Amino acid sequence: MKTRLLFFIASLMILIISCQTEKKKTPDKEDKIGPRIDSIVSLMTLEEKIGQLTLYTSDMDQTGAFIRKEYEEDIKQGRVGAIFNAYGVAYTRKLQELNLQNSRLKIPLLFGYDVIHGHRTIFPVPLAEAASWDLDAIEKSARIAAIEATAEGLHWTFAPMCDISVDPRWGRVVEGAGEDTYLGSRIAEARVKGFQGQSLGDDNTLVACVKHFAAYGASQAGRDYHTVDMSERKLREVYLPPYKAAVDAGALTVMTSFNDLNGVPATASKFLMTDILREEWGFEGFVVTDYTSIMELLHHGVAADTLESSSLSIHAGVDMDMQSGFYQTALARLVENKKVDEQLINTAVKRILKVKFLLGLFDDPFRYCSPEREANEIMTTEFLVSAQDMARKSIVLLKNENQLLPLDPKLKTIAVIGPLADSKRDMIGSWSAAGDWSKSVSLLDGIKTKLPYTTILYTKGCDVDGENKDDFMNAIEIARKSDAVVLALGEAFWMSGEAASRTMLDLPGVQQKLAEAIFATGKPVVAVLMNGRPLTINWLDENVPAILETWFLGTTAGDAIADVLFGDYNPSGKLPMTFPKNVGQIPIHYNMRNTGRPFKAQDKYTSKYLDVSNEPLYPFGYGLSYTSFSYSEVELNNTSISENESVEASVVITNTGKYAGEEVVQLYLSDKVASVTRPVKELKGFKKIMLQPGESQKVMFSIGKDALSFYKEDMIYGVEAGNLEVMIGTNSAQTKSAFFSLK
């Protein structure tokens, strides 16, 4: 009661002042809260303002006691505006009460967390979800994550990651949508819409945070936190569009990236945070650093001390300091020394308070602390069914020689072998939030549930990493006793994600040797890959008859994989990222630019390697099905258009196989002559369709100014007259073509 009374008094005081300053009423909520925000800021001390700009990780032990006394005092004195890594109704309520009972103005705390691919119900890792090419399903998975996270007191997620990357050595490709700008942009939109829902006024909406701004996915040599250097053309054409798509979809926060860009660390970049984000794109939310990024300006070598780091960041347009505490330490002195205008701080505070108002926290700071929701909206049957559906959609069939798959569920004996076959922990991958891996379904459990009357023989064979082969003979023995072998290979969960770059992308340890030994038994072998990035699996591709790429599929992984293995679900996933033949090909991606000496097999002095072909192992957009699809020739309704017209491209897809199946029909464009070199092809559209055996469907794409525009030689974004090739097909390497001209 004391907490409620104090909050009521403070709210009443703010309301009275805001009513005096509000000159007119408007039906628009954002317009109404502006005067209220101004009123609050006018009441705040400089120390309280800086507190709103400060984000700290949760600092309590398991008993609920504070580890350091200073942290408790920070909350009591209003020196903290937001907290991350705190979730659960009881915990977040305790922190909020501590704030409201003691701080002078009772401004609600904002609680954030890394809800990357599910909260309690863990969905496939983002790269896997991208392989579904199913925007509705991706949006739904984010919506469910938001429902669960907000049921446990959270307001804010540090997602989606919108970083494009063409380098699978970089461990954080697992968090993104892959290599393509267009696909990445559409997925960014879907995730923001899922997290933020229809209205932030609802108590199950989670504020999205666009990260990592900008170009973090282009870190040199695929090494995490490393430098980025590129032309502005490449930045604007390839890397910026997904961030902008997320901002345009309504994302209210943006996170700075760790890297420098062309010599300026992102956290100190006015060019990124103000010129582009706010002035060009009109972003009105707030910018938060990544973990200790302001402090890291010292290591970048662009700032000498805490004061200089903080000054660079606040002047760049960074509103909130995550974890370093530099703003709390330095901003007051910078204002006192007239190095920072207090109006800069006021502006940052207003941006943060706006988000809290839109979430309804000033109306009820405990609206996200419902014990009923926490009890009833976590890991429901509905959510688990959705997770399994998303997991099935994310699986990519890479090879299926002689239609080995789907396996006959009437097989008498099946061997399940491999270091990942009975792993629950690895199934939920990295950044698995509050997920409980003990509740996940392993591949072995999924197969046993699917085939309760089949003899299932299991052994590990080897560890994910290391050289121990003691279990090889046991694995060979049970393989020989079986009618077919399911071989679970790949990475451990910790081998991808943040700070998980790899220079070798082969199967770790002795896994390939295990595969060779099992293959030598002569039994039919299905390789099930579990990993967070493209791998170099040439031997498997050359020898093993069937390969499924299953990534890390989340809580229901084993059930989803079993559905695909035994034909209850026909795989439809397509690769969102190219699989190289070896790391020497990296960076390798489908949309490289034209070169002056394009590849010719018989001409040495063309762009190629001496020791391996230019072609990848599996191209972008690749993925097989248990059925087959034929494509008609591409038809255009017009072969010549003006700048403001569009051309309609169509193709007829027919299911020529025996199974009902989904196909992702992909549209690519190639600009034949332009003022600057252009990519050999670019994805500009896709549609996912379901066809019964023998069924045909006409698929149409409209190609207009948006698809045809690019940054011209003068860096003005627009179209140029010329000839263009339209390519429609089942992946980036297998397409049918037609041509038109732009006048």
Cα angle 300-305-311, degrees, rounded to a multiple of 5? 85
Considering only CA atoms, which of 194, 206, 252 is closest in space to residue 386? 194
CA distance 275 to 287: 13
Length of the chain: 743
Residue where the block lists tokens 């070598």: 301
List phi, psi (to 5°) of 490: 145, -145
Identified catalytic residue from 59, 167, 290, 426: 290
Let me know: does 131 contact 117? Beta carbons within 8 Å.
no
Terminal-to-terminal C-alpha distance of the chain: 72
Three-state DSSP state, 685:
strand
Q: Give CA–CA dist 440/543, Å, rounded.
A: 31
**Cβ atoms of residues 116 and 159 within 8 Å:** yes
Alpha carbon of 269 to those of 120, 228, 315, 365: distances in Å? 36, 13, 9, 34
Contacts with 267 (C-beta within 8 Å, 6 or more apart), sequence order: 256, 289, 290, 293, 294, 296, 297, 312, 313, 316, 318
Tokens linked to 182: 């267009």
| DSSP β-bridge partners for residue 396 | 549
Query: Tokens 């794109």, residue?
Result: 281
Q: Are strands 260-261 and 264-265 parallel, antiparallel or unpaired?
A: antiparallel
- Inter-residue contact 471 to 403 (CB < 8 Å): no
Check if the beta carbon of residue 681 is closer than 8 Å to that of residue 668: yes
**Eight-state DSSP code of residue 566:** T
User: Which letter does DSSP use for residue 687 in this model?
Assistant: E
SS3 122: strand
Rounded CA Rg of the chain? 27
Return the residue matching tokens 């489908």. 590
- Annotated active-site residue 426? The verdict is no
Contact at 8 Å (CB) between 6 and 100? yes
- Give me the active site residues, please: 290
